[in-house]
Chain A
Amino acid sequence: GAVVSQHPSRVICKSGTSVKIECRSLDFQATTMFWYRQFPKKSLMLMATSNEGSKATYEQGVEKDKFLINHASLTLSTLTVTSAHPEDSSFYICSAPTGGRGKDTQYFGPGTRLTVL
């Protein structure tokens, strides 16, 4: 099946710093990628849709200036958490769909565990 990678898998940073997370589709092209956030023992919440060649679309309540998304190529999307605070600590997962509308399977990256001290 299709493979999606994320880097880094785990990051610990100080409050106020920025952290960049990469999401790559390794064996297919993805014009769209999705970024999710998962709190402990909770489900995944969609943060934004990353669109290659255009601006990301953010879900209601997600601060676009805090969570910067750049879809640099057909295989790479990055999420930058700016001026991170302890409440940003979470598990961030990206996904990329393959196939046509309504018929695709979503492939998920392994996730990035962010801890802000």
Chain B
Amino acid sequence: KQEVTQIPAALSVPEGENLVLNCSFTDSAIYNLQWFRQDPGKGLTSLLLIQSSQREQTSGRLNASLDKSSGRSTLYIAASQPGDSATYLCAVGRGYGNKLVFGAGTILRVKS
């Protein structure tokens, strides 16, 4: 059974810092891995999707890496801003139709 773990559970940083969020999964047989952002009481916004054959994806100040063999992914956020404050969720696509298994998330707070 696939399990996804995210570390740290919560993170508070001053504005402008670069930061790394970690995600690990127990079964390396994944189709893809996706990072999402969730604002309080809201749905999910997809940030980055990494195919199983890829090593990383970049979008603006965000960079996500994937190491399937070790079962790890990281989300790097450069020059953090207060608007980045949210919960960040990592999810792996695990089968036909890409059902997703989610980690518990990292609650990020960027202080101005």
A residues lining the B interface (CB < 8 Å): 1, 6, 32, 34, 36, 42-46, 49, 91, 93, 95, 97, 101-111, 113
B residues lining the A interface (CB < 8 Å): 31-32, 34, 36, 41-46, 49, 51-52, 89, 91, 93, 96-105
Residue of A whose beta carbon sits closest to that of B30: A102
In Å, the complex CA distance between A93 and B39 comes to: 13
Q: Choose among A42, A97, A113 the residue that contacts B41 (Cβ–Cβ < 8 A).
A: A113
Residues of chain A with a CB closer than 8 A to B43's CB: 6, 93, 108-111
Q: Say yes or no: B31 contacts A110, CB within 8 Å.
A: no
Q: Choose among A34, A107, A113 the residue that contacts B99 (Cβ–Cβ < 8 A).
A: A34
Q: Say yes or no: B100 contacts A106, CB within 8 Å.
A: yes
Q: Say yes or no: A32 contacts B100, CB within 8 Å.
A: no
In Å, the complex CA distance between A93 and B91 comes to: 15
Residues of chain B with a CB closer than 8 A to A106's CB: 34, 46, 91, 98, 100
Residue of B whose beta carbon sits closest to that of A107: B46
Q: Say yes or no: A46 contacts B101, CB within 8 Å.
A: yes
With A6-B43, A102-B31, A113-B41 given, can you name 5 additional A-B contacts, CB distance below 8 Å?
A1-B46, A44-B89, A44-B91, A46-B99, A95-B100
In Å, the complex CA distance between A106 and B91 comes to: 10
The minimal Cβ–Cβ distance linking B61 to chain A, given in whole angstroms, is 18
The minimal Cβ–Cβ distance linking A102 to chain B, given in whole angstroms, is 4
